[in-house]
C-alpha cells in the first residue's frame, strides 16, 4: 500500500542467490533466525571457531539498536527514522519500537539484499507508516535522492539516521568516515545519528588478537566482509556531531537495562556504538 502521491515501492521480482552468503542472512543466523541458508551458516560457524561467543556480537548490536530507538522516540522530538541496512525482520524492529512510543513515527528501511526486500514488502503491507527502498546504503547521494526516502522523510525537519552494524561490511575504496560526512552534511540541525561498528581495541593485546581472528574469519568467508576498526577510525564517522552521553562505548554499556550481574562475554569488547546529535 502506498500513500496518495507517493511513488510505488519496488515490485521487481526478487531473485535470491543461495550460493553466496548474504550479510542480512548471516546476521539472521547469528541471532538464531530461520531465514538463512547453509552458505550463511558456514560464515557463522567459521567465526565461532575464532570466538565461540560470536553470536553475542549480533545480540549486543540488536539490543543497542532497541535502546537507542527507545531513547529517541521517548526523549527527543524525533518522529522520522531512516534505517540504513535494516537487515531481516526480527523481534523488536525499528518501527515497532518507535511506534509503540510514538504511533505517528515514520520509518523508511533501506537495504538492497533480495531476501530483505522480500520481507520489506510484508512490512509495507502491514504498516502504512513503514516503507522500504532497495538502495545501496554506501552511496549516500543515491539514498538522499531516493524517491521513496524523500516521499516519507522530510529533510527540512530533524530525523534519525541509523547505520547500525553496517559500515564494518563496507569494502569499497572510499573512507567510511567520508561516507558518513556526506550523510551528516545533508541532515538538518537537531537530527541524530545512531551508529555501531566492530571494534579493534588497540590498547589491549588480548582483545585485539580476538578482533583480528574474527576479522580474518569474516573477510575470508563466503561473505567477504567484517572489518574491525580502531576508536579513531570509528570516531571519524561522527564528524560534526555532539555525542550523547555516555559517548562512544561498548554497545552493551550504552544505557543497559538495569544493573549487570553477569559478566559480559569477551566479544562484547569488540563492538562499540554511539548516538550523535547534529547541532
Residue 19 lies inside a defined structural domain of this protein: no
Residue 173 lies inside a defined structural domain of this protein: yes
More confident residue, 81 or 5: 81
Residue 174 lies inside a defined structural domain of this protein: yes
Kindly state the helix (H) or strand (E) to which residue 161 belongs, with its residue range.
strand 160-164
- Contact indicator for 183, 161 with CB cutoff of 8 Å: yes
What CATH number is attached to the domain comprising 257? 3.40.50.150
> pLDDT grade, residue 3 (50/70/90)?
very low
Count structural domains, the chain. Answer: 1
- Contact indicator for 213, 200 with CB cutoff of 8 Å: no
Residue 21 lies inside a defined structural domain of this protein: no
Q: Which of 48-57, 122-131, 243-252 has the lowest mean pLDDT?
A: 122-131
Residue 40 lies inside a defined structural domain of this protein: no
> pLDDT grade, residue 13 (50/70/90)?
very low
Q: Helix H segments across the chain?
A: 23-30, 38-50, 55-75, 94-101, 114-126, 140-144, 147-152, 176-186, 205-219, 231-235
- Residue count (the chain): 279
Residue 68 lies inside a defined structural domain of this protein: yes
Q: How far apart are CA 105 and CA 128, in angstroms?
A: 11
Phi and psi at residue 221, in whole multiples of 5°? -95, 175
Q: How do beta strands 242-243 and 271-277 pair?
A: antiparallel
Asked if pLDDT for residue 29 goes beyond 50, the answer is: yes
> What domain range is 243 assigned to?
55-277
How many CB atoms within 10 Å of residue 102?
Answer: 15
pLDDT tens sequence across 62-87: 999 999 999 999 999 999 999 999 88
Residue 43 lies inside a defined structural domain of this protein: no
Q: Is 189 exposed, middle or buried (0-12, 13-18, 19+ CB in 10 A)?
A: exposed
Instruction: Give the per-residue pLDDT at 14.
Output: 57
Contacts of 86 (CB under 8 A, 6+ apart): 93, 94, 109, 110, 111, 116, 120, 132, 162
- pTM of the predicted model, to two decimals? 0.90
pLDDT tens sequence across 219-264: 888 788 899 999 999 999 999 999 999 999 999 999 999 898 888 9
Q: How far apart are CA 17 and CA 11, in angstroms?
A: 18
Residue 48 lies inside a defined structural domain of this protein: no
Q: Is 243 exposed, middle or buried (0-12, 13-18, 19+ CB in 10 A)?
A: middle
User: What is the 8-class DSSP label of residue 199?
Assistant: B
**Greatest mean pLDDT range, 43-57, 176-190, 223-237:** 176-190
Q: How far apart are CA 187 and CA 244, in angstroms?
A: 17
What is the chain's mean pLDDT, rounded? Answer: 90
Q: How far apart are CA 7 and CA 4, in angstroms?
A: 9
User: What is the 8-class DSSP label of residue 145?
Assistant: T
Amino acid at each position: 500500500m502506498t500513500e496518495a502521491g507517493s511513488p510505488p515501492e519496488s515490485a521487481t521480482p526478487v531473485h535470491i542467490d543461495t550460493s553466496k552468503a548474504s550479510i542480512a542472512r548471516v546476521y539472521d543466523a547469528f541471532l538464531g533466525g530461520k531465514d538463512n541458508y547453509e552458505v550463511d551458516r558456514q560464515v557463522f560457524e567459521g567465526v565461532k571457531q575464532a570466538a565461540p561467543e560470536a553470536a553475542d556480537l549480533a545480540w549486543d548490536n540488536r539490543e543497542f539498536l532497541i535502546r537507542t530507538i527507545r531513547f529517541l522516540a521517548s526523549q527527543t522530538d524525533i518522529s522520522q527514522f531512516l534505517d540504513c541496512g535494516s537487515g531481516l525482520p526480527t523481534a523488536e524492529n525499528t518501527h515497532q519500537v518507535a511506534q509503540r512510543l510514538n504511533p505517528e513515527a515514520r520509518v523508511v528501511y533501506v537495504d538492497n539484499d533480495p531476501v530483505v526486500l522480500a520481507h520489506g514488502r510484508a512490512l509495507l503491507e502491514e504498516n502504512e507508516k513503514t516503507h522500504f527502498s532497495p538502495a545501496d546504503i554506501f552511496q549516500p547521494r543515491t539514498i538522499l535522492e531516493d524517491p521513496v526516502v524523500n516521499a516519507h522523510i522530510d529533510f527540512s525537519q530533524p530525523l534519525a539516521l541509523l547505520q547500525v552494524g553496517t559500515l564494518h561490511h563496507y569494502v569499497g575504496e572510499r573512507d567510511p568516515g567520508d561516507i558518513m560526512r556526506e550523510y551528516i552534511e545533508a541532515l538538518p540541525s537537531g537530527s541524530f545519528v545512531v551508529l555501531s561498528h566492530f571494534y579493534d581495541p588497540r590498547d589491549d593485546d588480548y582483545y585485539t588478537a580476538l578482533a583480528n581472528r574474527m576479522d580474518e574469519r569474516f573477510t575470508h568467508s563466503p561473505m567477504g566482509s567484517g572489518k574491525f576498526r580502531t576508536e579513531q577510525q570509528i570516531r571519524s564517522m561522527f564528524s560534526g556531531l555532539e555525542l550523547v552521553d555516555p559517548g562512544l562505548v561498548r554497545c552493551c554499556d550504552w544505557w543497559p537495562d538495569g544493573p549487570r550481574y553477569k559478566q559480559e562475554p569477551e566479544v562484547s569488547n569488540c563492538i562499540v556504538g554511539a548516538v550523535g546529535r547534529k547541532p
